[in-house]
Chain A
Amino acid sequence: MSDIRQFQTHPEVDVATESPLAYSLQRSGAPAITSTSQVILRERPCLGHLILRGGAIVLDEALREVLGLSLPSQPHGLNHDASGERSVQWLAPDEWLLIVPGGEEFSLESQLRDVLGDSHVSIVNVSGGQTVIDIEGEMARAVLMKSSHYDVHPSAFPVGKGVTTGFAKTSAILRRPSASRWELVIRRSFADYLYRWLLDAGEEYGIGVER
């Protein structure tokens, strides 16, 4: 066990937690899903996000032992576990993003640190800093094409790929966990801007927000 101090961001006491989009949903509203909605947005707030940095081999071994999940070795790789709830994504040659159900991140970080021992790695809990937005529907790709300069054609963006790229006038992590669903991992401080951008971009497709 390394001597690094950890911080439990979800303490036992009942502290109210608000999603990064709480303000936007209040102020900008959430258009209802209708029969003509071709794009559907859904926020998945308060998940556990961990940034893993270090050597691929030690991190891969630790992650296999703790979660049974292997680290994507190729650039832009995105691996899910059997349930589809936990994912690990390549961000850079020495950096990966691990997303788990909310509340699991603290015990997971402790387990990883136990296994990793004194290895030269860094694990940072960024759960409070970012949030995940799902984009689904037949015109979801059209909304992405308006918003990002990255090529989202299925031939260039197969299922199981994730990239960090420019989105609207900021940056976002864009991932494709399944053929019909896209995920945006965005910063909390840009959440309101991107939410309103997506509502505007999806207006012509009758965008609806699932709450």
Chain B
Amino acid sequence: MFYIYCPYCEEHREEEEFHPKGQAHLARPEDPDACSDEEWGDYLFFRNNPRGIHHEMWVHALGCRKFFNITRHTVTYEILETYKMGEQPTITAETEASRPAATASSTDDRVSTETKGAQGVQA
């Protein structure tokens, strides 16, 4: 079970109160009529499936019923941070790659040490 920090309720809640809602930060094309079929198809149907850091939209379905974003590690399932809609993540694949610890062989060790100060998951 995860213990997820809701940025609107400002406290940790049980995972069963939340639902995942897919990839975050998908911008609808400004002018759909001027889009190529490929652009529109990418927007509608194609999603990232990274190995590592992924930004997702979740909804606090049983609580405040607000959508928010989660930065999650798809290998360890570790939740690195949660942030409100409209905000930008502080942890991305790029910031992780630039960290010296990111080259360590054990992924599990890396995640457990770096989330100590983060709000995403509480032990």
Query: What is the count of residue pairs linking A and B with beta-carbon distances less than 8 angstroms?
Result: 34
List residues of chain B with CB within 8 A of the CB of A149: 14, 16
Binding stretch for chain B, among A164-172, A184-192, A193-201:
A164-172
Is the CB of A91 closer than 8 A to any CB of chain B?
A: yes
Q: Does B16 contact A166, Cβ atoms closer than 8 Å?
A: yes
**Known: A75-B9, A93-B8, A149-B16. Contact between A165 and B62, CB under 8 A?**
yes
Question: Is the C-beta of B21 less than 8 angstroms from some C-beta in chain A?
Answer: no
Q: How large is the interface on A (under 10, 10 to 19, 20 to 34, 35 or more residues)?
A: 10 to 19
Q: Given that A163-B63, A164-B63, A165-B63 are known contacts, is A92 also in contact with B14, CB under 8 Å in the complex?
A: no
Flag whether A44 is at the interface (Cβ < 8 A).
Answer: no
Interface 1/0 per residue, A15-34 and B, CB below 8 Å: 00000000000000000000
**Interface size class for chain B?**
10 to 19
B38 within 8 A of A: no
Chain B 57-88 near chain A by CB (<8 Å), digits 1 or 0: 00000111110000000000000000000000
Docked-complex contact A164 and B62, CB < 8 angstroms: yes
Tell me if A141 is interfacial: C-beta within 8 Å of chain B: no
Q: A91-B64, A93-B64, A93-B66 are in contact. Are A166 and B14 (CB under 8 A)?
A: yes
Contact B8 A75 (CB under 8 A): yes
Chain B interfacial positions (CB closer than 8 Å to A): 8-11, 13-14, 16-17, 62-66
Show 30 residue pairs from A and B whose CB-CB distance is below 8 angstroms, ordered by the A residue: A75-B8, A75-B9, A75-B11, A75-B64, A76-B9, A76-B11, A91-B64, A92-B8, A92-B64, A92-B65, A92-B66, A93-B8, A93-B64, A93-B66, A95-B64, A149-B16, A150-B13, A150-B14, A163-B9, A163-B63, A164-B62, A164-B64, A165-B13, A165-B17, A165-B62, A166-B14, A166-B16, A166-B17, A166-B62, A171-B62
Residue ranges of A at the interface with B (Cβ–Cβ < 8 Å): 75-76, 91-93, 95, 149-150, 163-166, 171
Other 7 A-B pairs with CB < 8 A, given A92-B8, A93-B66, A163-B63: A75-B9, A75-B10, A76-B11, A92-B66, A95-B64, A163-B9, A166-B62
